Structure 1
Amino acid sequence: MLDVEPPVPAAGQVVVDVERAGLCGTDVEFFTGEMAYLHQGHARYPMRVGHEWCGTVAAVGEGVDERWIGRRVTGDTMLGCGRCRRCRAGRRHVCDARHEIGIRGGWPGALAEQVVVPVTALHPLPEEVDAVAGAMVEPGGNALRAVQAAEVEPGDRVLVAGPGAIGLLAASFALAQGAEVHVLGVSERSLAFARTLGAHGAWTAERLPALPFDAVIDASTSSGLPARALELVEPGGRVVCIGLASDPSTIDTRAMVLKDVTMTGVLSGSGGLAETIEHYACGEVDPRPLVAATVGLEEVAGVLAGSRPDGAGQGPKIHVDPRR
């Protein structure tokens, strides 16, 4: 942990006092050196990670309305250039020149007492969304976009592979849509936890029953899951891939064509943040049970190295309170 000078907002930016930040698998990959961006030239050490956060605006730069000061906010991770064809079409999250807070392009992340964010990336938080839920908006946006891509309707049977934070949030959003939701995982502990969230079934691969699934959401890190999802989904159904494996995945496109299956990839929660906040605020989806523990900055390295805080609950997510 290093002490650095307090950030100063440039024009169009704000400084946020970080109230809570979440640790993510991406942060672990940076800690271990496995993160692809390190090898592709999009990121380099030293860097400050942390892209799931909430806090209070403490200062504003030139051109920013001072009424932002004192407001509780969270924000988008993906910061497009704003000028290219993709940005102009509303796809800033896939801009070639994008920064990603705490991930790409050297933009410092939220594992600190303060973080700098463009005002255009901010999303206000209502009183009903507390610090725990506020720091779960970013992963929630990813999960919501996956459920939307799966076109889940009431009565659909949905399989979510991977009971990590995004997978369990996707299951929760699908349940809120009135779907019958099943979860596929490896450890009995994570599957038992999925059942407490309302999953109709939680299975290992060996025990998964032969059910017709209208949609399969792959939120796992298994390179074999996309092909398995294609096998499991009903003809005319949808497969959504949001998990990233360390090795390339292969599928038989003949099976995809002959089953008339739509396969979709989802990157980032950018397009789903505002709606995620609404779901949290009205209580349709409660992300807080997923947070197993909250630690201070000095304990982050241990968590990223794989240790679990004493007294941690069953959920997959660890939060950080920078002032703890």
Structure 2
Amino acid sequence: MRAFVVTGPRRFEVLEVDPPVPGPGQVVVDVERAGVCGTDMEIFGGEMSYLHEGHARYPVRLGHEWCGTVSSAGEGVDPGWIGVRVTGDTMLGCGRCRRCRAGTHHVCEDRFEIGIRGGWPGALAERLPVPVTALHRLPDTVGAAAGAMVEPGGNALRAVRAAALAPGERLLVLGPGTIGLLCAAFALAQGAEVHVLGLPGTSLEFARTLGVHGAWTADRLPDLPFDAVVDASTAPGLPALAADLVEPGRRVVYIGLSPTPSAVDTRTLVLKDVTAVGILSASPGLAGAIEHYASGAVDPRPLVAAVVGLEEVGEVLAGSRPAGSGPGPKFHVDPRA
């Protein structure tokens, strides 16, 4: 089968590789659609911390946002899964440790992360091996574009839940990328007043088309009380700004990661009695994201700028926008194209 393989920093090939064979407790999924995200770009560029910590090494087969159809099943798997449209969890815990037993497998020290950590091959390929325990069924109302947006949606939904907003309360999202805009969409769906902060340009203009109550640059941000702030940016200075802007006694949620260390003055958190929450992974939010998409409460499809083939992935990872791309921040891949 064909697969996109990163062989070193900013080096890649589309290769013919052996197709996966499902082991005990596993299935193989024929990939219908896969997303390209910021983590993939960090691995492609060589900046991703896992590469320097020994959790990942080249060659890497990327792709952790995906949907497809189960085509084969290994020993111990109900054959009724074959033919089912699915998406799945990125985080594959060991299943034995204290964290896994407590239901927090996404922070298991020995976890695999599909397409990212531990060498588990990703979904930028025609087929993908997945433990059956990681699968989530997709209803017919969730098509390919939305199905491949479940993983980022689960992250965003967790961030919005962590913000602990009541209907009518005000949220500020820092960063109009995919996760930030999904946070805005889930918060709007629960009745929040939503504002987005970003740099001037097309990303902020696009945010204004999605129904947010305000999309601002830093110099034009109105002096409003924000009941929660979600930092979905990669800017090292914005975590501190999030703590400065949130109302006392409320919550800041950190889901973005900067490429260099960012500092937050804990005196700000303490003296404002602020709760700071970090979000890693979509795992506990996947089912909720599917429910929101299936019901139509949240529609992630406008965020998809284009669908490309495996041969075009390298250009996307390098920051190029293919001709004819829409204004959204997300690029999808059809491995069969």
Q: Indicate whether the TM-score tops 0.5.
A: yes
- 1:89-122 Cα shifts (integer Å, max 9, x gaps): 0000000000000000000000000000000000
- What's 2:321 paired with? 308
1:17 lines up with 2:30 in the alignment: yes
Shift of 1:285: 0.2
Choose which of 49, 55, 67 in structure 2 pairs with 1:36: 49
Q: Which runs of 5+ in 1 are unaligned?
A: none
- 1:214-233 Cα shifts (integer Å, max 9, x gaps): 00000000111111011100
- Measured in 1, the distance between the counterparts of 2:335 and 2:134 equals 21
- What's 1:294 paired with? 307
- 1:186-223 Cα shifts (integer Å, max 9, x gaps): 13211111111111000111111111100000000011
The code of the aligned residue for 1:316 comes to P
- What's 1:236 paired with? 249
Match of 2:324, SS state, is coil
- What's 2:11 paired with? none
The code of the aligned residue for 1:216 comes to V
The code of the aligned residue for 1:2 comes to L
The code of the aligned residue for 2:151 comes to E
- What's 1:246 paired with? 259
- What's 1:138 paired with? 151
User: TM-score, normalised to structure 2's length?
Assistant: 0.96
- Measured in 2, the distance between the counterparts of 1:239 and 1:192 equals 25
- What's 2:60 paired with? 47
Match of 2:66, SS state, is strand
Match of 2:123, SS state, is coil
Choose which of 240, 252, 257 in structure 2 pairs with 1:227: 240
The code of the aligned residue for 2:33 comes to R
1:270 lines up with 2:270 in the alignment: no
RMSD after superposition: 0.5
Match of 1:116, SS state, is strand
- Measured in 1, the distance between the counterparts of 2:307 and 2:155 equals 22
1:78 lines up with 2:71 in the alignment: no
- What's 2:5 paired with? none
1:67 lines up with 2:84 in the alignment: no
Shift of 1:249: 1.1
The code of the aligned residue for 1:137 comes to V
- 1:230-288 Cα shifts (integer Å, max 9, x gaps): 11000111000000001111111111111110000000000000011000000000000
After superposition, where does 1:191-230 map in structure 2 within 5 Å?
A: 191-230=204-243
- Measured in 1, the distance between the counterparts of 2:261 and 2:18 equals 41
The code of the aligned residue for 1:73 comes to V
Match of 1:148, SS state, is helix
User: TM-score, normalised to structure 1's length?
Assistant: 0.99
Shift of 1:181: 0.2
- 1:43-86 Cα shifts (integer Å, max 9, x gaps): 00111000000000000000000000000000000000000000
Match of 1:20, SS state, is strand
- What's 1:7 paired with? 20
Calculate percent identity across the aligned residue pairs.
75
The code of the aligned residue for 1:67 comes to G
- What's 2:6 paired with? none
Q: Which runs of 5+ in 2 are unaligned?
A: 1-13
The code of the aligned residue for 2:160 comes to V
- Measured in 2, the distance between the counterparts of 1:2 and 1:47 equals 12
The aligned length equals 324
- What's 1:104 paired with? 117
